[in-house]
């Protein structure tokens, strides 16, 4: 591939306003697909990343699976010990969306996942 051919795959970083508009588009598509809405969102302009957080309950694990099915990606989960000693599972899905890296995540207490 020549240097000129590679330029079509390189995008310029989005401004925070553009990122917000991209996030609105993502959330509208999710809503139109009847996906559960996240509890909160965070945008990181420097890293061109959107993080969508779900509540820490078993339904959130299923929500992440639904988001992975709709937008691509795989649910990953890793054990995590909080400062207070509580065992949790850090669940997340990452996928690209219109120039952004999107991470959908939930911290679910380990004792709540045993029944899912």
- Sequence-distant (≥ 6) Cβ neighbours of residue 22 within 8 angstroms: 14, 50, 97, 98, 99, 100
Could you tell me the CATH number of the domain that includes residue 37? 3.30.460
Strands (E), the chain: 40-44, 49-53, 76-81, 87-97, 100-109
With contact defined as beta carbons under 8 Å apart, do 103 and 41 qualify? no
Tokens of 88: 């949790």
Q: What does the pLDDT read at residue 1? A: 46
Low-confidence stretches of the chain (pLDDT < 50) are 1-2, 116
Q: Give the pTM.
A: 0.85
28 located within any domain: yes
Q: What does the pLDDT read at residue 84? A: 92
CA distance 3 to 46: 25
Total structural domains within the chain = 1
67 located within any domain: yes
98 located within any domain: yes
6 located within any domain: no
């Amino acid at each position: 591939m020549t240097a000129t051919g590679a330029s079509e795959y390189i995008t310029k970083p989005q401004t925070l306003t553009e990122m917000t508009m991209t996030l609105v588009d993502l959330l509208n598509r999710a809503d139109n697909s009847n996906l559960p809405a996240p509890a909160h969102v965070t945008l990181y302009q420097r890293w061109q990343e959107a993080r969508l957080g779900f509540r820490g309950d078993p339904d959130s694990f299923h929500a992440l699976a639904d988001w992975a099915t709709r937008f691509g990606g795989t649910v990953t989960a890793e054990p995590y010990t909080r400062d207070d000693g509580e065992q949790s599972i850090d669940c997340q899905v990452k996928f690209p969306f219109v120039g952004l890296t999107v991470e959908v995540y939930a911290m679910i207490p380990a004792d709540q996942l045993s029944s899912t």
